[in-house]
Structure 1
Amino acid sequence: MQNSRQVLCEKRTYSRDFQAHHHDFGQFLFPLQGTLDLHTAGHHIALNPDYCFYLPPGHHHNYRATGRNEFLILDIPNVYLPNETESMYMKLDQQWSSIRFLLMEESRDTRTNSASLNDLTKYVSHKLELSNSPSIDYIHKHYKEKIRLEDLAKIEHYHPVYYSSWFKRKLGKTPKEYIAELRLREAKQLLSNTSSSITSISEELGFENLSSFSRWFVNVAGQSPQKFRKT
Structure 2
Amino acid sequence: MDNTLTPVLSYRKKELAAQYITELDTHIQDLKEGKADRAMEIRDLAKLLHVHPVHLSNTIKEVTGRSTCDLYEERLLKISKDLLLNTNMSIAAIAKQLTYDPSNFTKFFKHYTGTTPKKFRDQFINSL
- Residues 1:132 and 2:25 aligned together: no
Give the one of 5, 11, 14 matched to 1:86: 11
Distance in 2, Cα, partners of 1:183 & 1:166: 21
Matched AA of 1:132: A
Q: Which residue of 2 aligns with 1:216?
A: 108
Number of residue pairs matched?
106
More helix by share: 2
Q: Which residue of 2 aligns with 1:142?
A: 27
Distance in 2, Cα, partners of 1:210 & 1:224: 11
Distance in 1, Cα, partners of 2:89 & 2:78: 16
Distance in 1, Cα, partners of 2:41 & 2:83: 25
What are the superposed Cα offsets for residues 130-170 of structure 1, whole Å, 9 maximum, x if unpaired? Answer: x931x322211223332122222223332222211101122
Measured after TM superposition, the shift of residue 218 of structure 1 is 0.8
Give the one of 76, 89, 108 matched to 1:183: 76
What are the superposed Cα offsets for residues 185-219 of structure 1, whole Å, 9 maximum, x if unpaired? Answer: 00111111222211111112111x21111111111
Q: Which runs of 5+ in 2 are unaligned?
A: 1-7, 32-37, 124-128
What is the aligned-residue identity percentage? 30
Distance in 1, Cα, partners of 2:92 & 2:11: 41
Distance in 2, Cα, partners of 1:154 & 1:162: 11
Task: Return the structure number with greater relative CO, CA threshold 8 A, min gap 6.
Answer: 2
- Give yes or no for contact 2:39–2:98 (8 Å, CA) kept in 1: no
- Residues 1:159 and 2:44 aligned together: no
- Give yes or no for contact 2:9–2:63 (8 Å, CA) kept in 1: no
Larger Rg: 1
Q: Which residue of 2 aligns with 1:225?
A: 117
TM-score (norm 2): 0.70
Matched AA of 2:53: P
TM-score (norm 1): 0.41
- Residues 1:174 and 2:67 aligned together: yes
Q: Which runs of 5+ in 1 are unaligned?
A: 1-82, 89-127
